[in-house]
């Protein structure tokens, strides 16, 4: 087993009464698997991912439970120990491609950054591997994009840059935190296709987080449904999609815009 | 970029023209006449008129401005009425003193505020941060001539670190700068306080941005996220602020020169205004405006280099 999360809880103690954002979350993932987490905003799905990546380590947040990745529990690691995993074995892409890139740094440098941090390579080797990752992420004309700045790219392109920089060290696990939510429907489909390709070619396991059960169905083999920090339902994606046991899951399915509506030019999100 | 440069250069010249015109008009509006201070109050009306004609003061203002301007662009700054010598010679030495004072002040601002801003942002809420916050709040609200008097009292009279007597450059660069540090500090401290506050806020603002989360997710330590990602973005507003501060630094120099009895532009400017010595005042005003406009121009170029989003606009 590649990843074994058991009873992961995230409790905020910032103001007044403690707030439990994630409550005893458990999930097992195998190499090369694509697993989805769905739920509405505030259900704790992103928080779970960020806790796993070590991105919410603050004194006012208590993260408990265990998250064993390749035999090592990530949660008790020190910041310095965890950094050895971040960007190398575990990578993440975020919901907001418009703001997740440094506006004053060239794309190439941002894509190479994990290489610079984790490996000793010459400038030329770094560039070659960055261009390679950019091609893998489906960026047209990587050489050109390498020299550009984020503001010169569209949202979809920026998300591909994020994917390239997450994949540059070929991590075992990619966490995709609502990667297509901020994008157009057509771009969304293309990005999903790219993620599928990467999974197939590189065997990268993907933990895919979305509020859209339809998108999860198109990509994942298994799905976990979250509500208010807790898992309400989980299983193979087709089972959950076609035979939901929980009312909440039914609601999530029903809230998807129908294909007919889309064609009719309805006001989907 | 070339077009931008050209536009900026045009703006620079336009600003200088406007400033010189305003100074000219201001002088023709205020009461008093240079012939009073040259001839004294016992001169006859004929002598006065003759001198006015000799100085060209009987001509209408636009003609006077035009002849001043045409001479100025050829490098002829005119003759001082009072001292009867070329303005360029009179102003050059004093200008050097003031420019050194302003430059030392600017360096001090940078040297003081960048590390303090960085440290207090990095250790937000820590002891250094809290001390710095209180100090900046206090320092910011002290005007620079009061600051000058305070520093003079503390360092010259109590600690005896320096003699409160001007040491010219001719006595050696080291001694000159050693003296200049104190008046420069009087100018720099209030501005440094503002810069620290601005930089701290700017860094903390950038630290909360999404791209910093991305940086951490790649395995950056807090230090490298700060150096490689935050600093450049956080410096953009600070650079703009520092460029604008240069005008204040020049104005501050003129005031602080009085406190420390430094023979800079401030002293000659004030006495020349009293004497209605137009050519001297005019030259100094244009010189000061020139420095300010030029520094803003340079800051603008730097700003473009730092922020790729502002390109070719």
Can you tell me the ipTM of this complex?
0.90
- Secondary structure class of A150 (helix, strand, coil): helix
pLDDT of residue A37: 95
B60 touches chain A (CB under 8 A): no
Task: List chain B residues with CB under 8 Å of A80.
Answer: 221
Q: Answer yes or no: are the C-beta atoms of A145 and A111 closer than 8 Å.
A: no
pLDDT of residue A261: 46
In angstroms, the CA B251 to CA B249 distance is: 5
Nearest to A102 among B221, B224, B229 (CB): B229
Nearest to A102 among B211, B216, B219 (CB): B211
Q: pTM of this prediction?
A: 0.82
- pLDDT over 90, % of chain B: 26
In angstroms, the CA A42 to CA A96 distance is: 16
| Average of per-residue pLDDT across A111-125 | 94
In angstroms, the CA A70 to CA B3 distance is: 58
Taking CB atoms and an 8 Å limit, are B215 and A117 in contact across chains? no
pLDDT at A168 over 90: yes
Taking CB atoms and an 8 Å limit, are A103 and B308 in contact across chains? yes
- How many other β-carbons are positioned within 10 Å of the β-carbon of residue A261? 12
Instruction: Give the B window 225-244 contacts with A, CB below 8 Å.
Output: 229, 232-233, 236
B141 touches chain A (CB under 8 A): no
Taking CB atoms and an 8 Å limit, are B210 and A99 in contact across chains? yes
At the topology level of CATH, where does A1-89+174-269 sit? Rossmann fold (3.40.50)
- pLDDT over 90, % of chain A: 70
* Best of B124, B213, B219, B302 to mutate (most A CBs within 10 Å, chain A): B219
In angstroms, the CA A19 to CA A16 distance is: 9
In angstroms, the CA B191 to CA A3 distance is: 54
Q: How does residue A60 score in pLDDT terms, banded at 50, 70 and 90?
A: confident
Taking CB atoms and an 8 Å limit, are B309 and A55 in contact across chains? no
In angstroms, the CA A243 to CA A251 distance is: 13
In angstroms, the CA B265 to CA B92 distance is: 9
Closest residue by Cα to residue B283 from B81, B78, B106: B78
In angstroms, the CA B187 to CA B103 distance is: 11
Nearest to B219 among A86, A104, A151 (CB): A86
User: Secondary structure of chain B in the HEC alphabet?
Assistant: CHHHHHHHHHHHHHHHHHHHHHHHHHHHHCCCCHHHHHHCCCCCHHHHHHHHHHHCCCCCHHHHHHHHHHHHHCCCCCECCCCCCEHHHHHHHHHHHHHHHHHHHHHHHHHHHHHHHHHHHHCCCCHHHHHHHHHHHHHHCCCHHHHHHHHHHHHHHHCCCCCCCCCCHHHCHHHHHHHHHHHHHHHHHHHHHHHHHHHHHHHHHHHCCHHHHHHHHCCCCHHHHHHHHHHHHHHHHHHHHHHHHHHHHHHHHHHHHHHCCCCCHHHHHHHHHHHCCHHHHHHHHHHHHHHHHHHHHHHHHHHHHHCCCCCCC
Q: Answer yes or no: are the C-beta atoms of A204 and A170 closer than 8 Å.
A: yes
CA distance B138 to chain A (A): 31
Instruction: Read off the pLDDT of residues B178-237 as tens digits, 9 standing for 90 and up.
Output: 889 999 999 999 999 999 999 999 999 999 999 999 999 999 998 899 999 999 999 999
Closest residue by Cα to residue B176 from B249, B246, B99, B252: B99
pLDDT of residue A68: 95
Nearest to B214 among A79, A100, A149 (CB): A100
In angstroms, the CA A176 to CA A181 distance is: 11
Nearest chain B residue to A96 by CA: give it: B210
pLDDT at A83 over 70: yes
Instruction: For chain A, give every domain's residue range.
Output: 1-89+174-269, 99-170
Taking CB atoms and an 8 Å limit, are B221 and A94 in contact across chains? no
**Largest interatomic CA distance in chain B:** 86
pLDDT at B164 over 80: no
Task: List chain B residues with CB under 8 Å of A53.
Answer: 217
| Average of per-residue pLDDT across A247-254 | 84
Q: How does residue B282 score in pLDDT terms, banded at 50, 70 and 90?
A: confident
In sequence order, what are the beta bridge partners of A11? A20, A62
| Average of per-residue pLDDT across A109-132 | 94
CA distance A176 to chain B (A): 12
Taking CB atoms and an 8 Å limit, are B217 and A87 in contact across chains? yes
Q: Who has greater pLDDT, B8 or A226?
A: A226
User: Secondary structure of A8-37 in the HEC alphabet?
Assistant: EEEEECCCCCCEEEEEEEEEEECCCCEEEE
Q: How does residue A259 score in pLDDT terms, banded at 50, 70 and 90?
A: low
Instruction: Read off the pLDDT of residues B235-253 as tens digits, 9 standing for 90 and up.
Output: 999 998 998 888 889 888 8
Instruction: Read off the pLDDT of residues B79-120 as tens digits, 9 standing for 90 and up.
Output: 888 888 888 888 888 888 999 999 999 999 999 999 999 999
CA distance A77 to chain B (A): 13
pLDDT at A264 over 50: no
Q: How does residue A257 score in pLDDT terms, banded at 50, 70 and 90?
A: low
A99 touches chain B (CB under 8 A): yes
Q: Who has greater pLDDT, A144 or B28?
A: A144
Taking CB atoms and an 8 Å limit, are A149 and B309 in contact across chains? yes
Taking CB atoms and an 8 Å limit, are B306 and A104 in contact across chains? yes
| Average of per-residue pLDDT across A161-180 | 94
CA atoms within 13 A on the CB side of A260: 0
Taking CB atoms and an 8 Å limit, are A102 and B308 in contact across chains? no
Nearest to A101 among B214, B224, B232 (CB): B214
């Amino acid at each position: 087993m590649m990843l074994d999360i058991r009873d992961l809880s995230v409790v905020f103690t910032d103001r007044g009464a403690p707030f439990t954002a994630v409550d005893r979350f458990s999930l097992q993932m195998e190499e090369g698997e694509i697993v989805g987490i769905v739920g509405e905003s505030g259900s704790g799905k992103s928080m779970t991912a960020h806790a796993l990546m070590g991105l919410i380590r603050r004194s006012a947040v208590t993260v408990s439970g265990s998250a064993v990745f390749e035999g090592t529990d990530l949660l008790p690691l020190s910041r310095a120990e965890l950094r050895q995993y971040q960007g190398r074995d575990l990578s993440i892409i975020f919901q907001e491609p418009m703001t997740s890139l440094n506006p004053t740094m060239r794309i190439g440098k941002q894509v190479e950054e994990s290489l610079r941090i984790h490996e000793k390579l010459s400038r030329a080797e770094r560039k070659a591997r960055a261009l390679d990752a950019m091609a893998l992420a489906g960026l047209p004309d990587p050489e050109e994009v390498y020299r550009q700045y984020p503001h010169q790219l569209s949202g979809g392109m920026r998300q591909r840059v994020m994917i390239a920089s997450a994949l540059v060290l070929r991590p075992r696990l990619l966490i995709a935190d609502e990667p297509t939510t901020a994008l157009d429907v057509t771009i969304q489909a293309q990005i999903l296709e790219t993620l599928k390709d990467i999974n197939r070619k590189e065997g990268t396991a993907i933990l895919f987080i979305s509020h859209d059960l339809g998108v999860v169905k198109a990509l994942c083999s298994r799905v976990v449904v979250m509500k208010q920090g807790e898992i309400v339902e989980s299983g193979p994606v087709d089972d959950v999609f076609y035979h939901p046991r929980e009312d909440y899951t039914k609601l999530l399915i029903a809230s998807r815009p129908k294909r007919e509506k889309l064609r009719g030019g309805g006001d989907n999100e | 970029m070339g077009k931008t440069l050209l536009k900026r250069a045009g703006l620079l010249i336009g600003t200088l023209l406007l400033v010189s015109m305003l100074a000219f008009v201001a002088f023709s509006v205020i009461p008093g006449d240079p012939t009073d201070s040259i001839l004294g109050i016992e001169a006859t009306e004929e002598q006065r008129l003759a001198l006015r004609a000799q100085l060209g003061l009987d001509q209408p203002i636009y003609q006077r401005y035009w002849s001043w301007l045409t001479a100025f662009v050829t490098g002829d700054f005119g003759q001082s009425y009072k001292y009867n010598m070329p303005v360029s010679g009179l102003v050059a030495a004093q200008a050097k003193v003031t420019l050194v004072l302003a430059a030392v002040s600017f360096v001090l601002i940078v040297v003081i505020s960048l590390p303090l801003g960085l440290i207090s942002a990095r250790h937000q809420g820590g002891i250094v941060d809290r001390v710095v916050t209180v100090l900046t709040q206090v320092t910011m609200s002290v005007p620079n001539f009061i600051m000058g008097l305070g520093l003079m009292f503390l360092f010259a009279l109590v600690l005896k670190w320096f003699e409160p007597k001007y040491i010219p450059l001719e006595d050696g660069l080291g001694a000159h700068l050693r003296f200049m540090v104190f008046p420069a500090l009087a100018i720099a401290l209030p501005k440094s306080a503002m810069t620290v506050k601005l930089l701290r806020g700017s860094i903390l603002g950038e630290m909360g941005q999404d791209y910093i989360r991305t940086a951490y997710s790649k395995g950056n330590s807090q230090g490298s996220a700060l150096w490689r990602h935050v600093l450049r973005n956080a410096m953009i507003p600070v650079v703009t602020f520092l460029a604008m501060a240069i005008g204040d630094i020049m104005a501050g120099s003129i005031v602080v020169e009085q406190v420390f009895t430094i023979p800079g532009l401030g002293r000659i400017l004030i006495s020349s205004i009293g004497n209605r010595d137009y050519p001297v005042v005019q030259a100094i005003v244009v010189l000061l405006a020139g420095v300010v406009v030029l520094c803003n121009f340079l800051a603008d170029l730097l700003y473009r280099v730092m922020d790729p989003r502002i390109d070719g606009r």
